[in-house]
Amino acid sequence: MHPTLAHDLETLLDIASAAQAIALEFLRNVEAVPPARTPSKAPDAIAATDASVGIGAEGALDLFRTQWLPHLAGSAGPRPPASLVGDWLTSTVDQNPTSNWDSEAPSLERETVSSLANWFRLPSHTASIDVDALDAALTEACHGTSCIVVASAGTVNTGDFDDLVDISRLKKKHLFWLHVDGTFGAGLDPRARMDETDSVCNRLP
């Protein structure tokens, strides 16, 4: 094992305590940190570091605290304690499951998403657009003016493919621009009627 890494492992508690002190100090003063900063000349200390030796975790923390942190903005979210601790544990446990057979990590993700959906009172149906609900929403929102409808040719998280045929038929009733995010499968099946859309974003693998 590299001596620097071995030293970091031996002093992990001290390193974690130092990182905690930096984080808590930032949180205590975050209201005074500007939400945006004009980039200044970047410190050149990292470029001067001998990569074959490194500076260790303590040195990296000190470099971050003294030369980088003062130039960063207070633009992040509300930073609830559960979120801060969750990010730390996520990095520590560092799961990389490839299927449902590889630990309970996928189940934890599904339970988390389900809990969030319940808290925000989101519907439990698939991620594809409910065409009848879209019809009602357009009737209420547009009032004769133009609207924008964003459909998906395969959502990233669930793979649901919106019914572009039925959505396109609504254009006879409502004035709206139909954009399709072609994450997966855009244009692969002529029955999807991509030609009925007004604009398409096609993401190639």
- pLDDT, tens digit, for every residue of 21-46? 999 999 999 999 999 988 776 555 45
Residue 113: which residues within 8 A CB-CB, separation 6 or more? none
Task: Count CB-CB contacts under 10 A for residue 194.
Answer: 19
Render pLDDT for 77-115 as a digit per residue (tens, 0 to 9): 888 999 999 999 999 999 988 777 889 998 998 899 889
The closest alpha carbon to 5, from 62, 63, 56, belongs to 56
CA 196/CA 35 separation, integer angstroms: 43
Instruction: Mark residue 11 as left, alpha or beta (left: phi above 0; alpha: psi -120 to 50; beta: remaining).
Output: alpha
Are 126 and 158 a contacting pair, CB within 8 Å?
yes
pTM score: 0.59
